[in-house]
Amino acid sequence: MRVLAIETATAYGGVALLGADPRPIRRSFPLGLTHGRHILIEVDRAVAEAGLRPKEIELIAVDRGPGSYTGIRVGVTAAKCLARALGIPVVGVDALRVLAEGVPHGYGWVAPIVDAHRREVYGALFDRSDPSREGFGALVGSPGEVADRLPPDAVVFGDGVERYPEVFARFRKGFAEWTVPDPVLVGALAVQALHARGPDDPVSLVPVYLRPSEAEIKLRERRWKEGVRREP
């Protein structure tokens, strides 16, 4: 299956094209949260490198969060627009599972920890040696709250661990390269999800934020203050 995968949940970002060549084609964005400037350019380059026409793509895959509010919004919007324009299915996948899939099998409990800013982190727990053991899916909380949810033998990694090393000092540390999400894994997980549950509805596919954005919080605060001022 020819899959176009989009990954924009972190400061790293890129696209990948799977199934067109023996090896996936990867195109990376410059480091930083400027993914909106590069998505369509790199998609065009990846498709051209594969010698395909856009209509020959069979699935759009996208990392839908949690992560950077701007990044995942840009990525999901691009994925939905491409899917509707090309008339092909789209599947969104969990950002923290993408990170976990980058860890080699055999490590046991692994916990991707991503900096959520405002002194919070996103975290999840997966087992890379025994998939039948259930951890927990994406959650957001203070570094201490998330750390207290983890088993003592967990391997932690991600920019949230780098941001709060003292909180996660009691756990084993993963390798730095695990913190970079691979768009190829976005595509592979999307294919699995497609076979398991079918495609997502492009209309109802939305980013996973886990909490209100800073803009939403400020809007609520402003409306609350305006309401207080209007009271007799």
DSSP readout, 145-197? HHHHTS-TT-EEESHHHHH-TTTTTTSEE--GGGGS--HHHHHHHHHHHHHHH
Q: 89 and 62, same structural domain?
A: yes
Q: 112 and 85, same structural domain?
A: no
Classify residue 226: in a domain, yes or no: no
Q: 170 and 120, same structural domain?
A: yes
Q: 62 and 36, same structural domain?
A: yes
Encode pLDDT of 47-81 as tens digits: 999 999 999 999 999 999 999 999 999 999 999 99
Please report the pLDDT score of residue 132 as a whole number. Answer: 83
Give φ, ψ of 78 to 5 degrees: -65, -40
pLDDT above 70: residue 213: no
Q: 191 and 211, same structural domain?
A: yes
DSSP assignment letter at 200: B
pLDDT above 80: residue 220: no
pLDDT above 80: residue 99: yes
Please report the pLDDT score of residue 106 as a whole number. Answer: 92
How many domains does the chain divide into? Answer: 2
Q: Mean pLDDT over residues 74-96, rounded?
A: 96
Amino acid found at 96: L
Q: 168 and 191, same structural domain?
A: no
Classify residue 124: in a domain, yes or no: yes
Q: pTM (2 decimals)?
A: 0.89
First to last CA, the chain: 64
Classify residue 231: in a domain, yes or no: no
CA distance 40 to 21: 20
Q: 186 and 160, same structural domain?
A: no
112, 205 Cβ separation under 8 angstroms: no
Sheet holding 14-18, edge to edge: 25-28, 14-18, 3-7, 59-63, 90-93
Distances, alpha carbon 193 to alpha carbons 44, 109, 189, 199, in Å: 25, 22, 6, 8
Q: 7 and 87, same structural domain?
A: yes
Helical H runs in the chain?
Answer: 39-50, 69-86, 95-101, 143-148, 159-163, 183-197, 214-230
Q: 37 and 9, same structural domain?
A: yes
Which CATH number goes with the domain that contains 137? 3.30.420.40
| Domain boundaries, position 17 | 3-96+182-221
Q: For a pLDDT cut of 90, what percent of the chain falls above it?
A: 81
When pLDDT is cut at 50, 70 and 90, the band that residue 168 belongs to is very high
Angle at which helices 69-86 and 39-50 cross, to 10°: 50
User: Which is nearest to 112 in space by CA: 215, 218, 36, 185?
Assistant: 185
Tokens of 190: 């999307």
CA distance 41 to 153: 43
Encode pLDDT of 4-44 as tens digits: 999 999 888 999 999 988 899 999 998 877 888 899 999 99
pLDDT above 90: residue 143: yes
Q: Mean pLDDT over residues 217-225, rounded?
A: 52
Q: 189 and 85, same structural domain?
A: yes
CA distance 143 to 120: 6
Q: Which of 116-120, 173-177, 228-232 has the lowest average pLDDT?
A: 228-232
142, 163 Cβ separation under 8 angstroms: no
